[in-house]
Amino acid sequence: MKEPENEWSRRSWKVFPGGCLGEYNLPQELSIVLTRGQGARVYDTTGKEFIDFTMGWGSVILGHSHPGITEAVKKQAEQGSNFSYVSGPALELAEELVRAVPCAEKVRFCASGTEATMYAVRFARAFKRRDKIVKFEGAYHGANEFGAISLFPQELVDFPTPKPTSAGITEVARDDVLIAPFNDLEMTTRIIEENASKIAAVIVEPLHRCTTPLEGFLEGLREVTQKHDILLVFDECVTGFRLAYGGAQEYYGVIPDLAALGKALGGGYPVGAVVGRADILDLCNEADLGQERYVWFASTLGGNPVTAAASLATLDELRKPGTYKRLFAMGEKLRKGFRSILSELGIVAQVLGDGPLCALVFTGEKVVDYRTAFNADREKARAFTLGLFRNGIFLNPMSTKLYFSLAHGDEEIDTIHAVARKVLKEIF
Ligand SMILES: Cc1ncc(COP(=O)(O)O)c(C=O)c1O
């Protein structure tokens, strides 16, 4: 492996495992250290400019250094950064979440999506007094115990057997997770029916990574969970405020009992929230400490006023007329352009996604779940993402999921298409 050329990158490799903050897996010679971001672009210590198609893993939906957010953060920082107690901005934000998100009657803040899904599942287990949850193979719900189970299974075992993707997960944690195939309502229903008395919740990312739900799948999940008195949890860390202002539940018209929020909600600042039915959220009322169903939920930075100010500024922008029309038009242009380049070059691949989300999978099979993407050409996918990176597109080389922002426009999308055409020609 070649050493990185510049001193910043060498230092980064010395102190960070893999030379990164996590999940970037760039070869040493390509690794960089960033100094700033502006709009749709980021810049490294050598001054090199990249068009950003990761956007802080989707957290920076308005674009880097958005003036409205910067102003709100500066103003709040002068008034105090953290109280670990209700502040004006935190209250206003919670009230806005209740207005915006269909299932939200009450709100608890934390500081990341990993925590939000973890707490949502804890609420469900406490509420139903049952331990097991159903998750879909290949789903990411953050780095918590169940999020790291059957995330990238390298061996396809029979459903509902779980396969940890990370070491360090106890057998107990593993055995409380039942794995189902996304978009297969029949198999999922069978798994639920065979274990109904032990299942607290089904957790699903309604747009599963970038795989769209087949017609009737989410509705079917809602029906079967209701029939068996099981909670339905939507992980809306990605879809929240992205597929619609009210998230996937507004977009698909299926209302869960609980939802986990993160990413775009914070406008690039650390955020997480569990929202949902009041009778479930109320289990974490500290006055009930010692009660059988009391849920411990504590977060030093959850609801901090600086994040809340950034969130409020973000939501102000997202509420402006035409926002989602624009995000969806850009997403459509991005996907359409890739499809036409692939067909022009005779390359077989699937272009997945909906709204402002897009991913490329190099397979001839129609992708509906983890298994239909399992035999995709991962070497070509890696060569493709690294090729994009080498040519000035900043993205997570571990996946081809692309995030963009309201600061992106035709120029950025035309550029990624031109670069993709060049790179695809080189590697196929
Ligand atoms: C669907 C989904 N849920 C949860 C998370 C975890 O969020 P965080 O990284 O803020 O902990 C992610 C992160 O990528 C995600 O994509």
Q: What is the mean pLDDT of residues 418-425?
A: 98
Q: What is the mean pLDDT of residues 70-84?
A: 98
Hey, which residues does 34 pair with through a beta bridge? 44
Beta strands 199-204 and 231-235, pairing class: parallel
Q: Is the CB of 142 under 6 A from ligand 1?
A: yes
Q: What is the mean pLDDT of residues 84-93?
A: 98
Q: What is the mean pLDDT of residues 284-298?
A: 97
Q: What is the mean pLDDT of residues 119-146?
A: 98
- Dihedral over alpha carbons 398, 170, 291, 225 (to 10 degrees): 60
Predicted local distance difference test score (pLDDT) of residue 58: 97
Question: Is residue 407 within 8 Å of 62, Cβ to Cβ?
Answer: yes
Q: What is the mean pLDDT of residues 399-421?
A: 95
Residue nearest to atom 2 of ligand 1 (CA): 141
User: Ligand 1, from 237, 301, 402: best to mutate by most atoms within 8 Å of Cβ?
Assistant: 237
Predicted local distance difference test score (pLDDT) of residue 399: 74
The pair of structure tokens assigned to 188 is 């999922």
User: Ligand 1, from 20, 54, 60, 114: best to mutate by most atoms within 8 Å of Cβ?
Assistant: 114
Q: What is the pLDDT of residues 350-389, one digit of tens each?
A: 999 999 999 999 999 999 999 999 999 999 999 999 999 9
DSSP codes of every residue in 170-217: -HHHHHTEEEE-TT-HHHHHHHHHHHGGGEEEEEE-SSBTTBPPPTTH
Whole-angstrom distance, CA of residue 319 vs CA of residue 160 = 41
Q: Directed axis angle between helix 410-427 and helix 378-390, to 10°?
A: 130
The confidence band for 1, taking pLDDT boundaries of 50, 70 and 90, is: low
Q: Directed axis angle between helix 217-227 and helix 185-195, to 10°?
A: 10
Q: Is the CB of 57 under 6 A from ligand 1?
A: yes
pTM, two decimals, is 0.98
From the candidates 119, 140, 324, 403, give the one annotated as an active-site residue.
140
The distance between the two most distant Cα atoms of the chain, rounded to a whole number of Å, is: 65
Q: Confirm whether 198 is a catalytic residue.
A: no
Amino acid (one-letter) located at 365: E
* 421 CA distance to ligand 1 middle (Å): 30
Q: What is the mean pLDDT of residues 326-344?
A: 98
Q: Which of 147, 138, 148 is nearest to 118 (CA)?
A: 147
The confidence band for 145, taking pLDDT boundaries of 50, 70 and 90, is: very high
pLDDT surpassing 90 at residue 164: yes
Predicted local distance difference test score (pLDDT) of residue 3: 66
Cα torsion angle, 415, 40, 113, 169, sign: positive
- Count the residues in the chain: 428
Show Cβ contacts of residue 34 under 8 Å, excluding neighbours closer than 6 positions: 42, 43, 44, 45
The confidence band for 2, taking pLDDT boundaries of 50, 70 and 90, is: low
* DSSP classification of residue 305: H
Q: Is the CB of 235 under 6 A from ligand 1?
A: yes
Predicted local distance difference test score (pLDDT) of residue 403: 98
Question: CB burial class (10 A; 0-12, 13-18, 19+) of residue 150?
Answer: buried
Q: What is the pLDDT of residues 6-23, one digit of tens each?
A: 899 999 999 999 999 988
Residues of the chain with pLDDT > 90: what percent?
A: 96
Q: Which of 377, 383, 384 is nearest to 421 (CA)?
A: 384
Predicted local distance difference test score (pLDDT) of residue 330: 98
Q: What is the pLDDT of residues 181-228, one digit of tens each?
A: 999 999 999 999 999 999 999 999 999 999 999 999 999 999 999 999
Q: What is the mean pLDDT of residues 395-416?
A: 93
Predicted local distance difference test score (pLDDT) of residue 6: 87
The confidence band for 390, taking pLDDT boundaries of 50, 70 and 90, is: very high
* 424 CA distance to ligand 1 middle (Å): 29
pLDDT surpassing 70 at residue 4: no
Q: What is the mean pLDDT of residues 323-346?
A: 98
pLDDT surpassing 80 at residue 5: no
Question: Is residue 259 within 8 Å of 236, Cβ to Cβ?
Answer: yes
